[in-house]
Structure 1
């Protein structure tokens, strides 16, 4: 090869776009986004997002469970224009994906829940606000760029039933479409990383965190410049109210099916229960008039050694039949995970940690980047499976998805 010919192969371009654009441009997978977030967060805050309960066996198994399934594609299909839109609890969505509830998002980034909700609205997918959020349900619903049609609210049933029912009333008045009731928080999980790191919420300026300031000054500067962090949905609005020390004591270990029946009577919209729900409990919920189940083990943050939610999908769908919502989260890290869940019978997958990593890596743009990554991977998987739509994938699921390997 001549030198002149070799020179034509050399492409030297100056970096373009903002620093955030370049950072996100290097993120080709969800793990890339995770690593970008890890570089920007203090260790204790990153571990708060990244960690699980006890020995973190559930945390690891959630991801590994998806990888144990194998595909047998359909050959020679015209997949030039696959339709990745879905239907979630009666509403058409741009894709079978949603953003799961995560607590205290403004501790991860001052942009907080509104940035995530706007990214979800831009992608045409639902976002679920947590009771433990750092933005109130009213403020989120009225934020510019946020669509209440895509807003859900996750409810914890408190010992204070008046507060519980007040949250339900406020969610209805603010226009939230779906109410999710968490049923896996009779007590708080044992988050060992948080205990070892001495994490407080909001993060306190201890000796350890002061030393961390030197390593992550941008994070601490943004926190100090932002309004005080609080559990906004249960705050008294005067700097008091609940703290991390006492709020978990409000989880009620006495919650039972009678409470769920009362919530069904009180809530006029779609009602979903969220937790590691087997086929027997799913059938019981269906009989009570519940609209769906969100299969989840809280991302491995509650009960360790808990079954991976994706492994519950097939039996739950067989038990409840069609027309009943089956959603799944915990361990979704790739668009092929979405395809696997749908082939098993789910209506949609939800993610939590990935969008938090995206929020740290690039704000709202980072969250949108996470959605784009997952959906481009899902679209490609759909095409390589020989499927032209979500409906076809679900119908063909038993034939194209082989049993999990050991």
Structure 2
């Protein structure tokens, strides 16, 4: 029989570990987050529905986004044991410069709409972490203001080619003058995707004060106070806009952009050139032929063509075709540092995070972006150590198996490949 007794005070004292109370609600929220999904949950609580859904949503049925995230979950790691992983090197040389981690911040539009600190929070957090930050053509802070906020950071600029070519190239000149060393040209936007959450929410730029939005704002007063008491939304590329997101996108995007435009940009940009939105091996080779120093395998975060190819599934095929001559970046679906490790193992030189960064921004401004980066950093380091890998260059395809939920029906039979379409 176990003998029982009353606990003595000196037995209880070691168990009484009371934390100092945290009175700052933002700090308290961020301290509770253990992964990016926790940051997403916080962001949803504190951000009005329309801007949260703009960030969180994708095109049509949002199948592309779901599949991209699922692809990262459907992997099997193959660790090695008895390796010295007391120190792990996460640094990367990418596009002519250093990065402390194998990821940077992707270009995102309307960022100050999600949280008023916007691109300033993203660029300064990236500068502090030693990783690149990419400003979007549709960003809400000017090229010059981002450079001023993060003068020692690696600032990249993302370009949409407009029908007004002269106006587009003025942005390129401004980016060069501000010290941006990489130009990211996005080529998967002949038109805007059908982002149905925005349609249902009546999403406008800036957000409209309607009875519906006012009711939604009642439990989220901090967002509206910040929005209404700081400078109005301004864009990197235009002065003001008053209308729907879809109308702005259709005004800015040019469905005639082709290879000649990429060649023209290559001839006029002296830094590194990256083509973003590559979704096939053939287009990856075309981008290289046009003079790109790097490509981004991306389906635009699932925000353009729904049911588009999954970038992570495409990665090994593109890596095998391009070899070491072209730098391969990847985005879409990354929610964990293990996703980034898997991408590097299968041939990516670098990755970009979009939503993961924005969830942190919405959850806590600059501190929330720092939290996102810290979470991903710790996940990368832990995953590498558990794999028995002490440096990124040690990661190889043997470390990862891509599991498949889908079985393709195979190529079109030869006798049908060249057949003319049936007419009814």
TM-score for both structures, normalised by structure 1: 0.94
User: Is the CA contact 2:276–2:297 (under 8 Å) kept in the aligned structure 1?
Assistant: yes
Distance 1:215 1:19, change over 3 A: closer
- Give the match's secondary structure for 1:142: helix
Report the equivalent of 2:400. Answer: 401
Deviation at 1:17, TM superposition (A): 6.3
Rounded Cα–Cα distance in structure 2 between residues aligned with 1:44 and 1:193: 8
Rounded Cα–Cα distance in structure 2 between residues aligned with 1:56 and 1:247: 19
Q: Which whole-Å deviations, capped at 9, do the CAs of 1:34-55 have from their partners, x for residues lacking one?
A: 1111110111121111000000
Deviation at 1:243, TM superposition (A): 7.1
User: 1:268-279, aligned counterparts within 5 Å?
Assistant: 268-279=270-281
Report the equivalent of 2:192. Answer: 188
Report the equivalent of 1:370. Answer: 372
Runs of 4+ in 1 over 4 A off after TM superposition: 239-243
1:202 aligns with 2:206: yes
Rounded Cα–Cα distance in structure 1 between residues aligned with 2:208 and 2:100: 41
Deviation at 1:6, TM superposition (A): 4.2
Rounded Cα–Cα distance in structure 2 between residues aligned with 1:246 and 1:196: 17
Deviation at 1:277, TM superposition (A): 2.9
1:153 aligned to which of 143, 150, 157: 157
Report the equivalent of 2:132. Answer: 126
Rounded Cα–Cα distance in structure 2 between residues aligned with 1:211 and 1:156: 36
Deviation at 1:74, TM superposition (A): 1.3
Deviation at 1:250, TM superposition (A): 2.5
User: Is the CA contact 1:119–1:367 (under 8 Å) kept in the aligned structure 2?
Assistant: yes
User: Is the CA contact 2:192–2:249 (under 8 Å) kept in the aligned structure 1?
Assistant: no
Aligned residues: 398
Rounded Cα–Cα distance in structure 2 between residues aligned with 1:386 and 1:214: 50
Report the equivalent of 1:162. Answer: 166
Deviation at 1:2, TM superposition (A): 4.1
Deviation at 1:99, TM superposition (A): 0.4
Runs (5+) with no aligned partner, structure 1? none
Q: Which whole-Å deviations, capped at 9, do the CAs of 1:75-118 have from their partners, x for residues lacking one?
A: 21111001111111121210101000100111111111011100
Rounded Cα–Cα distance in structure 1 between residues aligned with 2:259 and 2:236: 28
User: Is the CA contact 2:279–2:309 (under 8 Å) kept in the aligned structure 1?
Assistant: no
1:179 aligns with 2:183: yes
Q: Which whole-Å deviations, capped at 9, do the CAs of 1:118-173 have from their partners, x for residues lacking one?
A: 00011100010000011111121122x4435x111010010111111111111111
Rounded Cα–Cα distance in structure 1 between residues aligned with 2:232 and 2:33: 31
User: Is the CA contact 2:288–2:294 (under 8 Å) kept in the aligned structure 1?
Assistant: yes
Runs (5+) with no aligned partner, structure 2? 406-424
1:93 aligned to which of 99, 102, 111: 99
Report the equivalent of 1:308. Answer: 310
Instruction: Indicate the RMSD between aligned Cα atoms, in angstroms.
Output: 1.6
- Give the match's secondary structure for 1:258: helix
- Give the match's secondary structure for 1:73: coil
Report the equivalent of 1:63. Answer: 69
Moved more, 333-342 or 2-11: 2-11
Report the equivalent of 1:251. Answer: 253
Distance 1:81 1:252, change over 3 A: same
Report the equivalent of 2:225. Answer: 221
User: Is the CA contact 1:179–1:271 (under 8 Å) kept in the aligned structure 2?
Assistant: yes
User: Is the CA contact 2:39–2:359 (under 8 Å) kept in the aligned structure 1?
Assistant: yes
User: 1:254-269, aligned counterparts within 5 Å?
Assistant: 254-269=256-271
Rounded Cα–Cα distance in structure 1 between residues aligned with 2:14 and 2:292: 64
Q: Which whole-Å deviations, capped at 9, do the CAs of 1:314-356 have from their partners, x for residues lacking one?
A: 1111111113110011110111001100010001111111111
1:318 aligned to which of 312, 317, 320: 320
User: Is the CA contact 2:63–2:306 (under 8 Å) kept in the aligned structure 1?
Assistant: yes
Deviation at 1:247, TM superposition (A): 4.5
Deviation at 1:242, TM superposition (A): 8.7
TM-score for both structures, normalised by structure 2: 0.90
1:26 aligned to which of 24, 27, 32: 32
- Give the match's secondary structure for 1:92: strand
